[in-house]
Amino acid sequence: MFVGLLGWVVLGLIIGFIASKFVNLRGDDARLGIGVAALGAVLAGAAYSIISGDGVSAWNLWSLIFAAAGAVAGAVAWHGVRSRYISKAPYTHRSSY
């Protein structure tokens, strides 16, 4: 069970990292998108195991495919929502206020 959950999390982290490289973050923290992708992978993998009745097992190909789809959906949704609320101005670093 632990190996299956670990596989989902690792897959979500990898997909979130790749998605953060393709998306213009406009000064947003990339770690948040990576974390959301990992959470999406865990939720989608858990939903697959509940719906299919297979349970969480080590290296179930279909659960990994659903986890990957959940990670992509989570990353796309996160970056889509965040891009609407982040300023379009170029990022300026402030050392103090």
The domain of 45 spans 2-21+28-82
Judged against a pLDDT cut of 80, whether residue 89 lies above it is answered with no
**Residue 27, pLDDT score:** 64
Judged against a pLDDT cut of 70, whether residue 87 lies above it is answered with no
Q: Which two tokens stand for residue 56?
A: 């969480």
> Terminus-to-terminus CA distance in the chain, angstroms?
49
Classify residue 88: in a domain, yes or no.
Answer: no
Nearest to 71 by CA among 47, 30, 42, 48: 42
Classify residue 97: in a domain, yes or no.
Answer: no
Tell me the mean pLDDT in the region 1-20.
86
CB 12 within 8 A of CB 40: yes
Classify residue 89: in a domain, yes or no.
Answer: no
**Residue 90, pLDDT score:** 62
For 28-84, what is each residue's pLDDT tens digit? 778 888 899 999 999 998 898 889 887 777 677 888 888 889 998 988 888 778 766
Classify residue 16: in a domain, yes or no.
Answer: yes
What's the pTM value of the predicted model, to 2 decimals? 0.77
**Total tally of structural domains belonging to the chain:** 1
